Amino acid sequence: MLKKILVALDRSDIGQQVFEQALVLAKATQAKLLLLHVLSPEEEGSPHIPMVSGYDYYPGLSGQSFEIYQKQWDTFKNEGVRMLQTLCAKANAQGISTEFSQTLGNPGRTICKLATNWDADLIVMGHRGLSGVKELFLGSVSNYVLHHTPCSVHIVHDLGRVKDTQPVQDSTQEPQVLPA
């Protein structure tokens, strides 16, 4: 029986689907929810660290770039808290005991550590759908969590994502024999 569900969220398109599925599971099992947002430079929409060339030539530029970055990062953090507050209020309004946490760190490791410390029975999280070279270099948070967490993991795939795949042929049809 599920008692505690950790919901790993980010601000990608799939975040709302992750939350909705976790809410359905919590309602069905009367489990508590812990909504988690991990602040990470790899997250979609996070501000980029400024790279300054000609540092010696323009000494004031470095300070200005850092101030701009810090303001963008503060906005990014505040948006994350607002997202968590909104979702937490929505779940609490439906009678689901819910709390939230936002922390800075490596998403995979942070999710696994919190799942262990909070004694989660299930982690609900999304899958970005990276493949090939992108996944090789950026890694897959969901893959890391699947292999390093002490509890079950429910992966939500983006239902709105259109994939470039060939339709699966019906295997009940008789195979065609081509003339030699």
Residue keyed to tokens 């968590």? 84
pLDDT of residue 78: 96
> Does the pLDDT at position 124 exceed 90?
yes
pLDDT of residue 13: 81
pLDDT of residue 157: 85
pLDDT of residue 137: 44
pLDDT of residue 81: 97
> Does the pLDDT at position 180 exceed 70?
no
| Mean confidence (pLDDT) of the chain | 83
> Does the pLDDT at position 123 exceed 90?
yes
15-41 average pLDDT score: 95
Q: Say how far apart CA 26 and CA 4 lie, in whole Å.
A: 8
Q: How confident is the model at residue 138 (pLDDT cuts 50, 70, 90)?
A: very low
Least confident of 2-11, 43-52, 119-128, 130-139: 130-139
Q: How confident is the model at residue 68 (pLDDT cuts 50, 70, 90)?
A: confident
pLDDT of residue 160: 64
Amino acid at 126: G
Q: Say how far apart CA 22 and CA 6 lie, in whole Å.
A: 9
> Does the pLDDT at position 165 exceed 50?
no
57-75 average pLDDT score: 76
> How do residues 83-100 score in pLDDT, each as one tens digit?
999 999 999 999 999 999
Q: Say how far apart CA 5 and CA 28 lie, in whole Å.
A: 12
> Does the pLDDT at position 171 exceed 80?
no
% of the chain beyond a pLDDT of 70: 73
Whether 49 contacts 120, CB under 8 Å: no
**138 versus 90: which is more confidently predicted?**
90
Q: Say how far apart CA 111 and CA 123 lie, in whole Å.
A: 8
